[in-house]
Each structure stands twice: as C-alpha cells, then as structure tokens.
Structure 1
Amino acid sequence: MKSKILTACLLFLGCVACSDKSGERSVLSTFDGFAQGTTYHIVVKSDRSVELGDEIDSLLRGVDRSMSLYDAESLLSRLNRNETDSVDGFIARCMDEARRIAEQTGGLYDVTVKPLTSAYGFAGEEAVARPNVDSLLELVGYRKVSVENGRLVKADDRMQIDLNSIAQGATSDYIAGYIDSLGFSDYLVEVGGEIFSRGTNASGKPWVVGIDRPVEGNFTPGAHLQVKIGLSGRGLATSGNYRKFYTDDSGRKIVHTVDPLSGEPVVSNLLSATVVAPTATLADAYGTALMVMGLERSKAFLETLPDVEAYLVYSDERGEFRTYATPGMEALVVR
C-alpha cells in the first residue's frame, strides 16, 4: 500500500546567518543524513549555531531498530518472522493510529498489507509473476491484528505488518518533539519527504515546501515544481505513483499503491496527494489512504476531516493535468 516516493522538497534560504523581517539576526543550523532507507533533512533557526547531529542520529537509529523493514534485525522484522511478539512504544503508537485510520477509511488504509506489497515486489523482495491474490487476502485485514498488553496478537502467524505508510511521518513528529523539548520554536524536520515544521524560516515567514510535478521521469526533487506550500505548526506528506512502478509480463502497469480490499494495484487518475494535517503521522497515513481511494472518494472523505487539507493532482479524460485543493489548502499556497 505504500505509495510514497515522496515529492516534497524544501525551499529555504541557504544562508548560515541572516535577519528575518523583524531585523533580528538568526542562524540556520542544518542536519542531513540517511535513515529508514531514505534521507532526512532538518533545519533549526536560532540566535546561535546549534549542534544536534549526534543526538538526531542516535534518535533515528533507535527508530530504525524498531520499525525499519530494510533492517532484517529490526523489531518489526522480527515480529513479522514471529521471533517475538513484544512491541515497543514506536510500533504500539503507529499501530494504534493506523487502526483508527483503517476504521475511518473502511479498511482502505491497512498496515497488514505487506503480503501483497511483497508479492508485487514493493517490500524489498522479488515480485511474484502471478500472485495468488485470493490466498494473500486471507492474511490481510486490520481487524485480524491487535496490540494487547504490549504484545502483537495475530489471527494468523503468517500475517505481516508494513508501517512504511506511517513510520516516516511518525519519525518526523518524534524528532520534532525532541527539538521542542530543547526549547527551539523555529524548525523544520523532514524524513523521507514527511515533514513537520514549527515557527518561521530565515525570512520570518512560514517554511516553504515545494511539491514536485507528478510526471513520470521526474526523479529529481525540486526540478519541476507543481506548487509551493507555506507550512508552520503542522505536518505534510505527499503520496504518488508516478515514480515507482513497473510493467509486468502481460503489460499491466503495477503501481506502488495496493488496494488492501481487492488485493490489486490501484488503477486511478489520481497522480499525487499532498496532505497537511495536525501531525506528520496523520499526513503520512492519509496521503496513502487518498491514493487508494482515488479522486472522487478522496474529495468526499476530505469533507469529513475538518483538520486536514489536501492538494490533489490528477489527469482528466484527455490526459491533461488538473488539480483540486481543499479551501484550507488554497490558503496555504505560496504564490
């Protein structure tokens, strides 16, 4: 179900020391690296240079040891192999949030989808030429798993969990919470494209995030922007199918978004969904859910979420780009 080869790129002033619109001197400290099979980028604005690189790397290593599917020895990997049933706080919180969103979406968002994503080759494994979807669907269903007294309970031991559609957003929120605890009020955290920001950038304005135009072949973040969003005090994530797909031996385009109810790759004219929500965790998960829903169901679903905004890019019947934005998202667009 994970669909996010994320399209968000960060746009901020590249100076080390500068003045915001009030004339006060500010210093931007940046931290970059690799985590969860992707990259992270963090900017902290203060009146002085700050050194947080080692602490951030340590926190991210802890998250990797918990929820990474790229690490065969992570707790999540061991849970999927039934080597343990004990969960930690990271996994418990993500499972709790994921279940709530699964219920909201009628099961269109579901972190038990890993048997399907593995079969289609989107979970670090070789694709199966003709997966037996009916058999795999027996191992999918959010109601078949639960966390009880710190332990993961599965209806079938063959069931597996894929938290890729929520873990990076949760990681951004986790790092943001750490920065909050240090007393900083102006920063931006991005992990794998999932973002949480607070306060203002070097210009004293909301942080600006560029959303890439969702066209095949647009592999360089920032090269072709669709829109720029001003973000402060909220989370943002973008999901899309246009960067990760393949064509199978029968000519079908197999995209990264898998419908957990049908077991099939989603066929839709919705190209990307950018979500702004109270947390990056929610933005991350809702972005994936919208890609499963498609355009019209997404519009209807968004009307039920007063604290969530979205910017949807889709193709019309002639294959031309069209966009839809919720009223609150329109107000965030930087023109």
Structure 2
Amino acid sequence: MNFMLKGYMACAVAAVCLAAAGCSLRKDYTVVEGVMLGTSLRVVADVEGVGKQELYAAVMELDREAKASMSIFDEGSLLSRLNRNETDSVDRHIAYCLWLADSIGALSSGRYDVTVKPLVEAWGFAGKEPAREPNLDSLLEFVGREKVAVRDGRLFKSDPRVQLDFNSVAKGYTVDLLAGLVERFGAQNYLVDIGGEVRCKGANRQGRPWRIGVETPFDGNMTDGEYVQKRVRMTDGGLATSGNYRRFYIDGQGRKVAHTIDPQTGRSAVSRLLSVTAAAPTCAEADALGTMFLAMGADDALAVAQSMPGVRVYFILAGDDGYEEYVSPAMQELIMN
C-alpha cells in the first residue's frame, strides 16, 4: 500500500493541465507521467535541453529518497526506525515536517498533530487491521506534539511509545521537492502533481493560468476528475484537498470511520465537512492546513477559517438539500465559476 494514504485515498484534487480538451501541445513543454509514492504522477514543465528519460530518472530518485525517509509502510524507512526507537537521528525531511507540524499545530489548538500514529493504526489506517474497540484513553497518553522535539539533529521523545505519522504533510512536501527539482532543470513554467496534490508556477501551454479541478466529495468517488465541483486557477503555489469520502469503512455498529483522526478525542473526524481545499505558498502547507480543518469538523473549521483573513480555503459541506460551500475571501480570486 502506498505510504501516502491520505493522498492516495482521501486527496480530492485532480490536475487539469489543458485549458480545453483537444488543444494542441506546444513542443517546449516536457510531460512526464507515471507512479510516485504509490500514486499517480504528472509533471508538465518547460525544461530545456533535458530529455524526458533524464527527467523521469531524477524524479524516480526523488521518489526513492522520500519513501526511504518518511514512509510509515516501509519497515526500513528512517521514520519507521524512529518509531521503533532503533535510531534517534533525523534527516532534513523529517526535521522540516516536524517544524511545519509545529507551525500548523499552533493554529489548531491541538487538532493537527503528527503524533497520531498509534490512533491511526488502531483504527486500521496504517496497514493493520482495526482494533474492535480501541483503548483510546491509553493511546491518547502517547499523542501530543509536545511529546517530541528535535535538538541537534536528534529526535527526543517523552515516552518511547510516541510515534510519528507524516501522511498529512509528506506528500505535499514531496510535491515541493519535485517542484524544486524541475526548477533546477531550468523550468520557468510548470505543474507538478502527485496523487492530486499540486504545485505550479507560471502558465500552461496556452499561456494561461493552470487550472486544477476539485472533485465532488460523494462517498466512494474513486474517479480521476470525472466529477468536478469547482476549478481553481493558479499561477504560483501549492494546492491540496483533504476529504473523508474515499478512505473510510463502516464499522459493526453502522458508523462511518474515516482516516482523518481528531487527536483530541482519538476518534474519526466525521462531520458534515466533506472536503477542504487549501492553497498556500507551498504544497506542504496546503496539505497540512487541509488536514487541520478537516479534523476540526464543520463548525470549528468555519469559525477558525473566518478568523484567519489571509487563509485560502474552499470547503464543501453536506447540506439539507445537496452541497453547501464556503470560500474564504482570500480564496475567491482563485475559484472559477
């Protein structure tokens, strides 16, 4: 299973790189497609003097580097070894993700936290079968961002049973690394997309802003952009969507259990907030913000978003008769009607 569960099963962004279907391609844009982090990969960039195979090889090397660092499904990854207390040395990727988690967590009153792995595992979203009745009180003793710290390149835990899960940020962060890679190859205009999480710069082949579709969040929607609720127009930055309509199951009591966990209650964060699309300077920030708002539930997410004048978010909520939407003031200029 792909180590980026959230992105593979819950992320709801579908990149739409052409301004209209059937437009002819300009020859100065290189397109690379394939699989990265166990999910879909698409790169469209105006690199010059670089062959498609050379670019693809560099992307695959980045794929190996990211998984070797941050995967919770690869038993040999650095993150897995940190979680098993086999090492305390962190690399730059893990150090950055922890720093970003602090930044986003400070906005969330504890509703965004990367120490949720014991809870994610207990509910069956970390590669193991779910527990029938997770002992949440016991598990919550090991959850809390204040229980870990990085000092001088080493990870310190308040309890060895504390474990980290970067599924809420690592895919977005890897998108940023991929954007940096194509820029080093000389790209001035590009869109990079891993499993629907996107970072872009400049213009598409037609000289227009990149268009990115946000999928309609009905339960079980596994299509690749077939049902699009809105389109977002961007020329710079990252975009990510979090939702609970793909990665979920129904338990023995008929309750929906989704992959986004509220670290305060230890339970699945299921509410009428169906998806959150966030735009930010980096895809890692957008990824983390989307998870943060989704974990809050509808009422708290709306209240917090409305208290943050600069935040760029688009919420799709379940209403009495169809969907309701909230577009923050800062996001309105990006939404295409």
Give the equivalent residue in structure 1 for 2:250.
247
Query: What percentage of residue pairs aligned between the two structures are identical?
Result: 42
1:186-225 matches, cutoff 5 A: 186-225=189-228
3-state DSSP of counterpart to 1:60: helix
Of 275, 278, 283, the residue aligned with 1:275 is 278
1:269 and 1:115 map into 2 onto residues whose CA distance is 25
Moved more, 110-119 or 2-11: 2-11
Structure 2 partner of 1:98: 101
Residues 136-193 of structure 1, C-alpha deviation per residue, up to 9 Å, x if partnerless? 0001000001111111111110111000100011001111112222221100111222
Deviates most, 300-309 or 198-207: 300-309
Worse-matched range after superposition: 51-60 or 272-281: 51-60
Contact persistence 1:37–1:70 (CA under 8 A) = no
Q: What residue is the counterpart of 2:124 in the other structure?
A: 121
SS of the aligned residue for 2:118 comes to helix
> More deviation in 90-99 or 26-35?
26-35
Matching of residue 329 in structure 1 with residue 334 in structure 2: no
User: Take 1:156 and 1:75, find their aligned partners in 2: how far apart are those partners?
Assistant: 18
- Counterpart in 2 of 1:143? 146
| Aligned-partner SS, 1:128 | coil
> Relative to 1, partners in 2 of residues 1:325 and 1:157: Cα closer, same or farther, differing over 3 Å?
same
SS in 2 for 1:275: strand
Match of 2:14 in 1: 9
Residues 224-303 of structure 1 aligned to structure 2 (within 5 Å): 224-303=227-306
Q: Does residue 82 of the first structure (1) align with residue 111 of the second (2)?
A: no
Distance 1:47 1:180 in 2: 11
Residue matched to 1:160: 163
Distance 2:59 2:120 in 1: 30
Q: Aligned with 1:42: secondary structure?
A: strand
CA contact (8 A) 2:48 2:187 kept: no
State TM-score, norm by structure 1.
Answer: 0.93
Q: Secondary structure at the match of 1:223?
A: coil
Q: Distance in 2 between matches of 1:56 and 1:15?
A: 27
CA–CA distance in structure 2, aligned partners of residues 69 and 85 of structure 1:
16
List structure 1 segments (4+ residues) > 6 angstroms apart after TM superposition.
14-17
Partner of 1:23: none
- Cα distance in 1 between the residues matched to 2:50 and 2:89: 40
Counterpart Cα distance in 1 of 2:122 and 2:219 = 23
Q: Distance in 2 between matches of 1:241 and 1:306?
A: 26
Structure 1: distance between partners of 2:227 and 2:37: 25
Distance between the aligned counterparts of 1:18 and 1:191, measured in 2? 21
| Matching residue's letter, 2:56 | G
The whole-number CA distance in structure 2 between the counterparts of 1:33 and 1:161 is 28
* Structure 2: distance between partners of 1:73 and 1:46: 34
Aligned partner of residue 60 in structure 2, secondary structure:
helix
Q: Secondary structure at the match of 1:71?
A: coil
Equivalents in 2 of 1:67, 1:36: separation in Å? Answer: 10
Q: Distance in 1 between matches of 2:22 and 2:49?
A: 13
Q: 2:40 and 2:131 mapped to 1: Cα distance?
A: 29
Equivalents in 1 of 2:22, 2:321: separation in Å?
41
Deviations 1:189-208 (A, max 9, x none): 11222211000001111111
Number of the residue aligned with 1:22: none
Q: Are the counterparts in 2 of residues 3 and 291 from structure 1 also a CA contact under 8 Å?
A: no
Cα offset for 1:70?
2.1
The aligned length equals: 328
Give unpaired runs (5+ residues) of structure 1: 20-25
Where in structure 2 are there 5+ consecutive unaligned residues?
Answer: none
Q: What is the aligned-residue RMSD (CA, Å)?
A: 2.0
- Aligned equivalents of 1:146, 1:15: Cα separation in 2: 51
Is contact 1:45-1:201 (8 Å) kept?
A: no
**What CA distance in whole angstroms lies between the structure 2 residues aligned with 1:47 and 1:91?**
32
Instruction: Measure, in 2, the Cα distance between the counterparts of 1:170 and 1:307.
Output: 21
- Once residues 22 and 81 of structure 2 are traced to their aligned partners in structure 1, the CA distance between those partners, rounded to angstroms, is 44
User: What are the superposed Cα offsets for residues 259-300 of structure 1, whole Å, 9 maximum, x if unpaired?
Assistant: 101111113100000001111010000000010112232233
Distance, in Å, in 1 between the alignment partners of 2:233 and 2:298 is 24
